[in-house]
Amino acid sequence: MAADYVEWLRREGRIVIVGASLAGLRAAETLRAEGFAGELTLIGDEPYEPYDRPPLSKSVLLGMASPHHTELPHRWEIDAKWRLGVAATGLDPTAKRVRLADGDEVEYDRLLIATGVRARPWPKPEEARLDGVCLLRTCEDAADLYRRLKAGPRRVFVIGAGFAGSEVASACREMNLPVTVAERAGAPLVGALGGVIGAVAADLQTENGVDLRTHVTVTALEGDPAGRVRAVHLSDESVVEADVVVVSLGSLRNTEWLQGSGLGAGPRGVACDAGCRAFDFRGIVTDDVFVAGDVARSPHALFGYQFLSLEHWGNAVAQAETAAHNMICHGAERRPHLWMPAFWSSMFGVNIKSVGVPPMGEQLMVTQGSLAERRFAAVYGYQDRIVAAVTFDNTRWLEFYQRQIEIGAPFPVEYPTMDRRPEGRQPVDARFPDPSLPTHGPMVTLSGYSPADQQLVFHPARH
Amino acid sequence: MRLVVDLNKCQGYAQCAFLAPDVFAMHGEESLIYNPRAEEEQRERLARAVAACPVQAITADGLDRVGEVREAPDGR
Ligand SMILES: Cc1cc2nc3c(=O)[nH]c(=O)nc-3n(C[C@H](O)[C@H](O)[C@H](O)COP(=O)(O)OP(=O)(O)OC[C@H]3O[C@@H](n4cnc5c(N)ncnc54)[C@H](O)[C@@H]3O)c2cc1C
Ligand code: SF4
């Protein structure tokens, strides 16, 4: 009977994908590529066809690409019904219906949730509304920010030195704009890579002329009588005049529309099993609702089956492909999502890449190159195993370290390398902040073992 | 033409920047930046960059499947 259902579904079933961005598009393509011949609907609240976000903080701000033209190429003809510019506002998993903001309802046989995340706004609404206070997540955000930077502001102020904030600061310096970056932690990128690597990122910023302020929080944004932002007040009582403020405080998962649906969805995302099937709030896996991309939290075999939320481009692609495959095949042919976490970033002309889960690491060893030269490879260790690696301008070694993580290679590392420097011989504390304190944009969140996450309340920063 | 580079795969060896310099550029030693929307007149150059990338990191509309990568007619 079950086999017949899958055959029927593949032939004439209805699949609905909510969230028409990277994960949604790649899932739709995989469904068609693997022979799904039924009805496919993509629902997305942005009025644009799926576009790519990483260029928005890189080539777009460097003036090499238009913010309105980062649309993703299509790998496959997907022949879908597109419902763009309309948000999903509710889900009834029993009746198998998605409710839309315009009052419509769309029925499905199988559903994929790919609603991603949004930028965390400045917490004081009246200050957030000031003209010149910007976020960076959508193409409209990028167009607005780029226009303001081109207008030659006296100073740009970036709140939060995660990857996104640091990339914005880098673009500002490239445009020769004065820029101040404020970070609550002791250095940029600390949540993602720890304090040792963060110190390298800090040097990179200051040497490139960024006015970097660490161990401070922003207490208030001050506007002029015309409603334009004019100054930023900091916890150390200093005041910095700026006419563009970029709020780069990480992200919020787009799960509000699932409230009352009974799914295990909350501020940390939608929990799913290794096959991308969503859990309900009781921790029981569903069979018709799947999840992929930034909004998902899924258990990972290589990292002790902890639920990971990965805000990584590569994860969205891989998880979408696995989810789509599993949506239209029989149980035995399903695959687990075992993607090795990986991301890249680029700032001040340096290529930063990582594999594995750095925040899981307690100790760090520089295995090649040197921190001082800003060209190195370093590995993170946890319980005598390598769990992650990071490279600065040393991409070609990353694959080697990826294999080391996959085979659970021992830490501290034992292999002799051709260019081991004294600084790498001994493991040092990787210096991650206390995990119970929220950090800005860590990009990977280790979120424990509970599939039901509804009660969790995230306390935003004390800004 | 729309295109995207999987920068997790990209090794920064710059073949694409050499073959299609109006679309791809190196930024620093090994960071690649690119314009995700290439002009139609870049089609041949883009096709060559897609084919030359040693790790198949570039996906472009209609050019990504090997059979469809056309050689320049005059063998340039
Ligand atoms: C500026 C920037 C730079 C980045 N740089 C990098 C990088 O260098 N490396 C890297 O690995 N990753 C990077 N990322 C992250 C990467 O872009 C994401 O991981 C990726 O976009 C995730 O895709 P997704 O489809 O899961 O989610 P999203 O891209 O967030 O898409 C979700 C879509 O669903 C829509 N949606 C939300 N709620 C609803 C609803 N209720 N109804 C209908 N539609 C809804 C949203 O509007 C959105 O269009 C960057 C992101 C940004 C913003
Ligand atoms: S040719 Fe491929 S690997 Fe080389 S820089 Fe271009 S995209 Fe990267």
3-state secondary structure A249-275: CCEEECCHHHCCCCECEECCEEEECCC
Distance from CA of B29 to the nearest CA of A (A): 7
Contact B34 A59 (CB under 8 A): yes
Same domain for A267 and A239, yes or no, is: no
Same domain for A64 and A129, yes or no, is: no
Q: What whole-number distance in Å separates Cα of residue B49 and Cα of residue B4?
A: 12
Q: Tens digits of per-residue pLDDT, A308-317? A: 889 999 999 9
Within 10 Å of residue A76's Cβ, how many Cβ atoms? 15
Contact yes or no for A18/A43 (Cβ under 8 A): yes
Region A421-443 average pLDDT: 69
Q: Tens digits of per-residue pLDDT, A352-391? A: 999 999 999 999 999 999 999 999 999 999 999 999 999 9
Same domain for A260 and A244, yes or no, is: no
Q: Tens digits of per-residue pLDDT, B49-69? A: 999 999 999 999 866 444 343
Within 10 Å of residue A323's Cβ, how many Cβ atoms? 32
| pLDDT greater than 60 at residue A32 | yes
Contact yes or no for A292/A18 (Cβ under 8 A): no
Smallest CA–CA distance from B26 into chain A, residue: A349
Residue A261: inside a domain: yes
Same domain for A96 and A174, yes or no, is: no
Dihedral, CA of residue A352, residue A354, residue A360 and residue A363, to nearest 10 = -70
Contact B8 A342 (CB under 8 A): yes
Residue-by-residue DSSP string for B10-55: -----HHHHH-TTTEEEETTTEEEE-SB--GGGHHHHHHHHHH-TT
Q: Tens digits of per-residue pLDDT, A70-119? A: 999 998 889 999 999 999 999 999 999 999 999 999 999 999 999 999 99
Contact yes or no for A292/A27 (Cβ under 8 A): yes
Residue A456: inside a domain: no
Residue A462: inside a domain: no
pLDDT the model gives residue B72: 35
CA distances, A205 to each of A2, A167, A280, A349 (Å): 58, 10, 44, 11
Domains of chain B: 3-64 (3.30.70.20)
Contact yes or no for A264/A453 (Cβ under 8 A): yes
Within 10 Å of residue A216's Cβ, how many Cβ atoms? 14
Q: What whole-number distance in Å separates Cα of residue A368 and Cα of residue B1?
A: 40
Residues on chain B touching A353 (C-beta within 8 angstroms): 8
A302 secondary structure, DSSP code: G
Last residue of a domain, one of A232, A249, A266: A249
Q: Give the pLDDT band (50/70/90) at residue A456.
A: very low
To test the contact with chain A by mutation, choose from B1, B3, B4 the residue with the greatest count of A C-beta atoms within 10 A, namely: B4
To test the contact with chain B by mutation, choose from A49, A53, A72, A167 the residue with the greatest count of B C-beta atoms within 10 A, namely: A72
Nearest by CB to B64, from A69, A70, A75: name it. Answer: A75
pLDDT the model gives residue A448: 73
A338 secondary structure, DSSP code: -
CATH of the domain at A147: 3.50.50.60
Within 10 Å of residue A8's Cβ, how many Cβ atoms? 12
Nearest by CB to A393, from B30, B35, B37: name it. Answer: B30
- Number of A:B CB contacts under 8 A? 81
* Alpha carbon of A99 to ligand 1 centroid (Å): 22
Which distant-in-sequence residues (6+ apart) come within 8 Å of A273 by Cβ?
A279, A285, A298, A299, A451
Which distant-in-sequence residues (6+ apart) come within 8 Å of A265 by Cβ?
A255, A258, A259, A271, A278, A281, A453, A454
Q: What whole-number distance in Å separates Cα of residue A360 and Cα of residue A60?
A: 33
Residue A294: inside a domain: yes
Q: Tens digits of per-residue pLDDT, A184-215? A: 999 999 999 999 999 999 999 999 999 999 99
Nearest by CB to A65, from B6, B12, B35: name it. Answer: B35
Q: What's the structural domain count of chain A?
A: 3
pLDDT the model gives residue A413: 87
Determine the atom of ligand 1 nearest the C-alpha atom of A24: 25
Nearest by CB to B28, from A317, A351, A353: name it. Answer: A351
Instruction: Give the CA diameter of chain B.
Output: 34
Same domain for A240 and A129, yes or no, is: yes
Q: B7 touching A, CB under 8 A?
A: yes
pLDDT the model gives residue A444: 67
Contact B37 A70 (CB under 8 A): yes
Same domain for A277 and A290, yes or no, is: yes
Q: Tens digits of per-residue pLDDT, A277-305? A: 999 988 899 999 999 999 999 998 878 88
Q: What whole-number distance in Å separates Cα of residue A181 and Cα of residue A260?
A: 40
Residues on chain A touching B37 (C-beta within 8 angstroms): 65-66, 69-71
Distance from CA of B49 to the nearest CA of A (A): 16
Q: Is B1 exposed, middle or buried (0-12, 13-18, 19+ CB in 10 A)?
A: middle
| Domain assignment of residue A154, given as a range | 125-249
Q: Which of residues 23-52 of B touch A (CB under 8 A)?
A: 25, 27-31, 33-37
Q: B74 touching A, CB under 8 A?
A: no
Q: Is A102 exposed, middle or buried (0-12, 13-18, 19+ CB in 10 A)?
A: exposed
Residues on chain A touching B11 (C-beta within 8 angstroms): 395-396
A339 secondary structure, DSSP code: P
Ligand number nearest to the C-alpha of B18: 2
Same domain for A417 and A365, yes or no, is: yes
pLDDT the model gives residue A462: 34
- Check residues A436 and B22 and name the one with the higher pLDDT: B22
Residues on chain A touching B31 (C-beta within 8 angstroms): 346, 349-351
Q: Give the pLDDT band (50/70/90) at residue A449.
A: confident
Q: What whole-number distance in Å separates Cα of residue A44 and Cα of residue A24?
A: 9
Q: Is the shortest distance between the CB of B11 and ligand 2 below 6 Å? A: yes
User: How many helices, marked H, and strands, marked E, lie in chain A?
Assistant: 8, 30
Within 10 Å of residue B13's Cβ, how many Cβ atoms? 17
